[in-house]
Amino acid sequence: MATALATVAAVLLSGSPNAHAGAAGSTPVQTFEYSVGGMTMKIPTGCMFTHIIRGSGKKISYQNAGVDCAFVDALSSGFCNWRIDFTYADTSHRTYRTSRGRTHSECKIDPMRNNSPQTLPRYGKACARLYVTGVQRASQCHHVTK
């Protein structure tokens, strides 16, 4: 599964007849520790949070975000109590919509979420945000323009 997001990104950006524009970007998930049920969990370096979006203008036809870790064996149980939110802001950086993901109590080494196609009311930016135990751990954004 370590290359799942890279494969998805390659397929999505390879040129679908319905896609007019698209973007994929990744940001490192910084090393952090958190507690679950009295146990300390550690996320090591080597994990990337990737956000993929495609569409045309304000119309988003596909959006996905997830974590891909280079050294999966280094993760003992992965990300627990995680969720991924998608947020949308106008050109003045004011967030006007949030699609909050559900919190997953199970632990996963490769948390991922898709969002429904939609048409945004204004230009600005679309972001994906990773939360673990309610704390934002990574975000990645794309500008939505004409």
pLDDT digits (tens, 9 = 90+) for 16-27: 334 357 899 999
Give the span between the Cα atoms of 120 and 97, in whole angstroms: 9
How many angstroms separate the CA atoms of 96 and 84, rounded? 17
How far, in Å, are 13, 37, 85 from residue 46 at the CA level?
23, 25, 22
Q: What is the mean pLDDT of the chain?
A: 85
Interval 28-54: pLDDT, tens: 999 899 988 888 888 888 899 999 999
The span from the CA of 47 to the CA of 58, in Å, is 30
Take residue 120 and report the two structure tokens written for it: 């945004």
Structure tokens at 6: 């890279």
Where does 4-144 sit in CATH, by number?
2.60.40
Task: Identify the pLDDT of residue 74.
Answer: 56
Arithmetic mean of pLDDT, 103-113? 93
Given a cut of 90, whether residue 92 has pLDDT beyond it is yes
Distances from the Cα of 51 to the Cαs of 5, 22, 35, 95, 127, in angstroms? 9, 11, 26, 18, 8
Distance CA 128, CA 63 (A): 9
Phi, psi (5° rounding) for residue 73? -65, -20
